[in-house]
């Protein structure tokens, strides 16, 4: 490191559709929703992260809130750059004579096309990254869970994020077979919005749907220690008068059923492609569930019943990918062959 170490700052970024997490010196220094608020007239950044999320769906004509990532991919280039830059600035509070050059490791969905990878690289470089490395999300998740990814045995990771569900079988430091589907947390939220509209004639926003998912989200209609019903308030679509409706976890399990079936189908298709030797390892070890979607009540049980392999929800699933990205950052030389 030597003399110039203070001129270089090393950060690991989990650039997620729902949340962006930045790790610096082994600590989570930024954990904020991936959203920015921008002044429409000047294009200036007004708020970022949590402050912008509180404005989401409540803005007037001069402010717009943007989620720069959709389905795990950068959808708004300018907003993504502003967001990455703003979040990096959160680490470096206080006056500085100069801004250090950044060495970054950013994780990307395993199904990313060359164009999408290029977009992440460009945004990171514009935000001040000098050395930018990419690592695939399921690989980062496996490292973050603490699995030995270089071992000659197979492990399977399912990372259910905000925009994509990443399923991968990993052995010998590489991804043997994988699938990335665009059904994940955001899809579940949209399912809940549609269900409330059709079933209860009540109009709710993205934030309320997200709150319902966290409060009473479930993958099975009968689970141990069920959550209490969640009261939803909003306008009746027909009359525009306010109504209150209690929502139970059974209803949410029913409304998420279709999306969860697609996740199951994707899981089965990856298992079909898995070489038999690795398949045996996976059956012995079980499959690891990471990402925010792993917190859905009863999901591990539902998948285990369907696929007959044990599912383990990893500890702190929300930060598994970010932790792995942090480990990869510290051992860039060792994990160089995993990077892009």
Contacts by 146-150 with C-beta closer than 8 Å and gap 24+?
147/288, 149/173, 149/338
Q: How far apart are CA 31 and CA 11, in angstroms?
A: 13
Q: Which two tokens mark 309? A: 């392999």
Q: How far apart are CA 224 and CA 297, in angstroms?
A: 9
Confidence band (pLDDT; 50, 70, 90) for 97? Answer: low
Mean pLDDT of the region 137-164 = 94
Mean pLDDT of the region 63-80 = 92
Q: How far apart are CA 141 and CA 338, in angstroms?
A: 13
Torsion from C-alpha of 80, 86, 91, 97, nearest 10 degrees? 120
Q: How far apart are CA 336 and CA 289, in angstroms?
A: 25
Mean pLDDT of the region 74-101 = 83
- Statement: residue 175 has pLDDT above 60: yes
Q: What integer pLDDT is reported at residue 5 of this predicted model?
A: 58
Strands 45-48 and 36-39: antiparallel
Report the percent of the chain where pLDDT is more than 70: 96
Q: What integer pLDDT is reported at residue 28 of this predicted model?
A: 92
Report the percent of the chain where pLDDT is more than 90: 80
Task: Please state the separation of Cα 88 from the chain's center in Å.
Answer: 19
Q: What integer pLDDT is reported at residue 6 of this predicted model?
A: 62
Q: Which two tokens mark 255? A: 């409304």
Q: How far apart are CA 340 and CA 216, in angstroms?
A: 39
- Statement: residue 258 has pLDDT above 90: yes
DSSP H stretches of helix in the chain: 50-55, 77-91, 114-126, 137-145, 185-200, 206-216, 249-273, 276-285, 299-307, 320-330
Q: What integer pLDDT is reported at residue 49 of this predicted model?
A: 94
Contact 284, 292 (CB under 8 A): no
Mean pLDDT of the region 91-103 = 73
The SS3 assignment for 150 reads coil
Residues 113-124 pLDDT 10s: 999 899 999 999
Mean pLDDT of the region 219-223 = 94
Phi/psi of residue 28, nearest 5 degrees: -75, 110
Phi/psi of residue 264, nearest 5 degrees: -60, -45
Contact 293, 184 (CB under 8 A): yes
Mean pLDDT of the region 4-20 = 84
Phi/psi of residue 215, nearest 5 degrees: -75, -45
Q: Average per-residue pLDDT in the chain?
A: 92
Torsion from C-alpha of 43, 28, 135, 98, nearest 10 degrees? 60
Best CA proximity match to 263, nearest among 143, 183, 186? 183
Q: How far apart are CA 238 and CA 12, in angstroms?
A: 48
Mean pLDDT of the region 133-143 = 93
Residues 277-302 pLDDT 10s: 999 999 999 999 999 999 999 999 99
Q: What integer pLDDT is reported at residue 96 of this predicted model?
A: 64
- What is the set of domains in the chain, with CATH numbers? 2-140+321-338 (3.30.420.40), 148-183+256-315 (3.30.420.40), 196-253 (3.90.640.10)
- Statement: residue 1 has pLDDT above 50: no
């Amino acid at each position: 490191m030597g003399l110039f170490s203070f001129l270089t700052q090393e950060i690991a970024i989990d650039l997620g559709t729902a949340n962006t997490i930045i790790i610096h010196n082994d600590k989570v220094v930024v954990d904020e929703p991936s959203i920015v608020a921008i002044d429409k007239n000047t294009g200036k950044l007004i708020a970022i992260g949590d402050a912008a999320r509180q404005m989401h769906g409540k803005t007037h004509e001069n402010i717009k809130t943007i989620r720069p990532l959709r389905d795990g991919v950068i959808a708004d280039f300018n907003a993504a750059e502003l967001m990455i830059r703003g979040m990096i600035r959160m680490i470096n509070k206080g006056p500085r004579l100069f801004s250090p050059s950044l060495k970054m490791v950013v994780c990307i969905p395993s199904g990313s096309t060359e164009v999408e990878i290029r977009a992440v690289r460009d945004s990171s470089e514009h935000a001040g990254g000098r050395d930018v490395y990419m690592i695939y999300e399921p690989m980062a998740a496996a490292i973050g869970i603490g699995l030995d990814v270089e071992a000659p045995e197979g492990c399977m990771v399912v990372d259910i994020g905000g925009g994509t569900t990443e399923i991968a079988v990993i052995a010998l430091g590489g991804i043997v077979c994988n699938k990335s589907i665009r059904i994940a947390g955001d899809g579940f939220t949209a399912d809940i919005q549609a269900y409330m509209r059709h079933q209860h004639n009540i109009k709710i926003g993205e934030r309320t749907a997200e709150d319902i998912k966290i409060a009473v989200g479930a993958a099975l209609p009968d689970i141990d220690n069920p959550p209490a019903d969640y009261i939803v308030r909003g306008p009746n679509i027909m009359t525009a008068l306010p109504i209150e409706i209690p929502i139970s976890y059974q209803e949410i399990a029913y409304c998420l059923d279709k999306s969860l079936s697609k996740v199951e189908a994707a899981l089965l298709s990856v298992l079909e492609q898995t070489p038999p030797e690795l398949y045996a390892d996976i059956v012995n070890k079980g499959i690891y569930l990471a990402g925010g979607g792993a917190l859905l009540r009863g999901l591990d049980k539902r998948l285990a019943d369907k696929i007959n392999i044990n599912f383990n929800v990893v500890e702190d699933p929300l930060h598994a990918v970010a932790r792995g990205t942090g480990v990869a950052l510290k051992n860039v030389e060792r994990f160089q062959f995993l990077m892009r």
